[in-house]
Amino acid sequence: MKSILLHIGNDNGLEARIQAALDLAREFDGHITCVQSVALEIYTAGDFYGSAISVALPAIREDAEELRRKVERDLSNEDVPWEYVFQMGGAESGLLEKSVINDVVVVGPNEVGEWERYPTPLIGELILHSRTPVLVVPFKHKRIDWSGPALVAWNGSTEACVALRSSVSALAKASKVYLATVSEKKQRTRCDFPPVEGAEYLSRHGIHAEIVEIPEGEASIAETLSSAAQLRECSYMVMGAYGHSRLREFLTGGVTRQALTEPQLPILLAH
């Protein structure tokens, strides 16, 4: 994960995202590309003659430039290579365009300026349309120790396999890897890939994984996995963005969405 795409937005999670990107760059000898987007569409609704936007535009640009100067000033004191991309338009389009030539995208769990208890649609769009792994960083997270333990959520799906493959370079640095499955009360009719196959795949890359089977309790599967990761003092969790209807599940419910609602540790998602 040497090529790192970092979402820049003026929200309280920015510092955590920057630190996560720095942790990645230092661990993997990588390069950070910062992408800051300014969307004017939110200011033009109902402004048929453009009068409001013409008045607000200078202040919008100045606020954006001030944020850019601050981030560039902070990064200039760090020991990793980086570049800065500033563009007009939505964050989604800017990140999607760049993601196809990057190894991982670092984002926060919620929309910039959005504090309600649901994940930003930006994550779903990135996962579904770019196919680049997305690292979701909690707002107040301080540091990611890539040499610490890691938990891989496993349900035998194709998406879980993709997430596993996408995270091999990170898992190779982990002191311990847990391949965790939750024994659901309602078993699926088929399990394409049992956990032993995931463990065997990792072993071919020199990674030993401990298979952990967790009985389903009263908590949701997402909460169960998160608790299991915290109990084992994991630095991060790997998860496939899976479901019978990918986008619909992400928007209306499901394990992926539940895991991204106020995440307690960084989550590396792939689809």
Q: Which of 9, 13, 76 lies closest to 36, judged by CA?
A: 9
Amino acid 143 reads: R
Q: What is the pLDDT of residue 111?
A: 60
Regarding predicted confidence, which is higher, 97 or 110? 97
Residue 226 token pair: 């998160």
CATH 3.10.20.70 corresponds to the domain 150-270: no
Q: Where are the domains of the chain?
A: 3-136, 150-270
Are the CB atoms for 217 and 224 separated by under 8 Å?
Answer: yes
The first and second tokens of residue 52, run together, are 């409001």
**Given the structure tokens 């950070």, which residue do they identify?**
32
Mean pLDDT score across all residues of the chain: 84
d(CA 88, CA 239): 32
| Element containing residue 267 per DSSP (H, E) | strand 267-270
**The two structure tokens encoding residue 172:** 């190779």
CATH of domain 3-136: 3.40.50.620
Which position has the higher pLDDT, 239 or 184?
Answer: 239
> pLDDT (tens digit, 9 = 90+) per residue, 168-187?
999 999 999 999 999 876 65
Average pLDDT over residues 256-263: 72
Q: How confident is the model at residue 239, as a pLDDT?
A: 92
Q: Is the pLDDT of residue 114 over 60?
A: no
**Can you say whether residue 217 is alpha, beta or left, with left for phi > 0 and alpha for psi between -120 and 50 degrees?**
beta
In this prediction, residues 139-149 reach a mean pLDDT of 93
Is 148 within 8 Å of 175 (Cβ atoms)? yes
φ, ψ of residue 76 in degrees (nearest 5) = -65, -20
pLDDT tier for residue 117 given thresholds of 50, 70 and 90: low
Q: Is the pLDDT of residue 201 over 60?
A: yes
The pLDDT of residue 118 is above 60: no
Q: How confident is the model at residue 41 (pLDDT cuts 50, 70, 90)?
A: low
What confidence score (pLDDT) does residue 246 get? 47
Share of the chain above pLDDT 70, in %: 80
pLDDT exceeds cutoff 80 at 56: no
pLDDT tens per residue, range 66-102: 999 999 999 999 999 999 999 888 888 889 999 999 9
pLDDT of 57 > 90? The answer is no
For residue 28, what pLDDT is reported? 96
